[in-house]
A and B are shown apart, each in its own frame.
Chain A
Amino acid sequence: MTVLSDPLAPTSAFAIEADGLSVRAGRHVAVERLGLALDTGVHGLLGPNGAGKTTLIKALATVVRPHAGTLRLSGVDADRGDLRALRREIGYLPQRFGFYPRYTAREFVEYLAWLKEMPRDAVPAAVDRALDRVGLADRADSRMKTLSGGMVRRVGIAQAIVNDPRILLLDEPTAGLDPEQRVSFRELLREVGGDTCVVVSTHLVEDVAAACEDAVLLDRGQLVFRGSIDELEAAADDVGDATASTFERGYSALLRDHRERVGA
């Protein structure tokens, strides 16, 4: 990649830039020599279980430190740069997160807004707006422990977007949402993606097909495919389940090709 070859070149505009990135999950190398540049827009992160999606998202969220390669977020080296300033620009929804049961939804999002060092005056309005955007305005003052799983997930999304991040990382955001909520969540994604780099990890291919501009396909820690939804669908062939959507068949075909290449 010519963009990355000159270390003294002015920082590029990419929100996320990984070069030769390797990340461990425990002792296992879950992401291996990944090169990827992502900019504003909604990017779907796809792959079978164990492909390294969650580990990659954790590294992008600066929660796990890569053991090799470089990672630049908003042009800042995540390893040596000003981590604190960088983290103010990040919104992160982990695959699983716990909460403080006695907090109300509003208090929980407020607490995270405070941890994100948002200006004090901006917090109340930003929290109300975030809860409203995930459709929880009417449950804002309910205790977290009284909320359903899908609602807790939406509080998680609210805390991720509360600081209007430039990089929004969502790990399985639609898990636990009912079909109607998933549709309105996709609308939210498209809205946020207008001026934010959104990375959505999911195993639900229809979420990606419906809400993402492009897809990043991982398998066993390696990049299999990066391209538009159309390109992914164009990879579909006639092998396998004929009732599957073009998108699903494209996904399977790309994975199969990659495994054959790696195996060969």
Chain B
Amino acid sequence: MSPVDTWHVPDALLDRFAAVDGAALPAPEQWSVEAHLERCPDCRARLGRAMATRSPELLAVVEDVRAGLDARISALPAPARRRWGARRLTGGLLISRLLACVAVLAAATLLDLVAASGGGAAPSWLLLAAPVLPLLGVAASWSRALDPAHELVAATPAAGLALLLRRTLVVIAVVVPAALVAGAVTEADSQAAWLLPCLALTAAALALGSITGIARATALAAGAWVAGVVVPALALQDTPAALEPAWLPVWCALAIVAAGVIALRRETYPRMMER
């Protein structure tokens, strides 16, 4: 292809090209001018100026069309993109699944209120349920069985730790405030005592997920909580030791180790969705 900057359409030629009346160029010369104009913005600009003097009526037609198009485009309804940001955040998280988590919280709160009105000193259902609830949400957002578009998502470049964390955070952002509100309603003594175990269990499930897959990992973490904390608490009819302040360092350590494992194994998450 010839260099663009060595030759430009001479003024006289451009002037005749710009004229739409009788002085028109023979076809072969028109084509060669057109071929140059396609590649040369400078000559296109000069043509615009030449058109203004030689063929103002044609320019007026072009302007008319432009104005008409602009008016019609601006009259069209704006595309509905307002919900887009929210969609991206909550993609894969069905509202029904999140509502199910909140419903479990509400049930636990109700049981606590009933127990309190009866004067019983049973362990708080809310304390027992709250730490594992985000696990259910995370499992729901990241498993073949519960995310309807799982197969589609698994083949995309975004499938990986970042997307998993994003969905986990949305679940936590819904469940934790709801649990805090529930705690305020029941006026439990240590209403935030479950918060650290909750985060530690979630982190542990995500870490374990890099090996077993998220569905199995959340089931294991929830199972461990039920077997190790819920069952003894119900058997002894006492607040479980795991929720006492003495256990805080343990939960802290679990959360830190889990975070470390997640960071070390971050490259495996893109393949984690595979069977």
Q: How far is the CA of A19 from the CA of B266 in the complex (A)?
A: 29
In the assembled complex, the Cα of A111 lies from the Cα of B87 at a distance in Å of 8
Produce 1/0 per residue, A81-93, CB < 8 A to B: 0011111101010
* A61 at the B interface (CB under 8 A): yes
B270 touches A103 (CB 8 A): no
In the complex, which of the residues A63, A85, A98, A110 contacts B148, with contact meaning CB atoms closer than 8 Å?
A98
| Contact pattern, B 147-170, Cβ under 8 Å of A = 1, otherwise 0 | 111111111111110010000000
B271 to chain A, nearest CB (A): 6
Cβ of B155 and Cβ of A63 under 8 Å apart? yes
Instruction: Select A107's contact among B84, B95, B148, B271, beta carbons within 8 Å.
Output: B84
- Docked CA distance A159–B189 (Å): 51
Q: How large is the interface on B (under 10, 10 to 19, 20 to 34, 35 or more residues)?
A: 20 to 34
Inter-chain CA distance A129–B94, complex, in Å, is: 28
Q: Quick check: A87 and B87 within 8 Å, CB to CB?
A: no
Q: How large is the interface on A (under 10, 10 to 19, 20 to 34, 35 or more residues)?
A: 35 or more
Query: Complex Cα distance A31/B156, Å?
Result: 23
Per-residue contact bits, chain B 111-150, to A (CB 8 Å; 1 contact, 0 not) = 0000000000000000000000000000000000001111
- A115-B156 contact, Cβ under 8 Å, with A107-B83, A110-B87: yes
Indicate if A14 sits at the interface (CB-CB under 8 A).
no
List of B residues within 8 angstroms of A20 by Cβ: none
Q: B88 — which chain A residues lie within 8 A by C-beta?
A: 111, 114
Q: Is the CB of B87 within 8 A of A64?
A: no
Are A98 and B149 in contact, CB atoms less than 8 angstroms apart?
yes
A94 / chain B contacts, CB cutoff of 8 Å: 151-152
Chain B: minimal CB distance from A164 (Å):
14
Q: Which residue of A lies closest to B148 (CB)?
A: A98
How far is A64 from B275 in the complex, measured between Cα atoms in Å? 6
Q: A97-B149, A97-B152, A112-B152 are in contact. Are A141 and B157 (CB under 8 A)?
A: no
Which residues of A line the B interface, CB within 8 A?
A: 26, 61-65, 83-88, 90, 92, 94, 96-100, 102-104, 106-107, 110-112, 114-117, 124, 141, 156, 159
Q: A92-B152, A107-B87, A116-B156 are in contact. List 13 more A-B contacts (CB 8 A).
A: A63-B274, A65-B271, A65-B274, A87-B157, A92-B155, A97-B152, A102-B95, A110-B87, A111-B87, A115-B153, A115-B157, A117-B156, A124-B81
Task: List the 7 shortest-distance A-B pairs measured between CB atoms, nearest first.
Answer: A98-B148, A115-B156, A87-B157, A115-B158, A92-B155, A94-B151, A84-B157
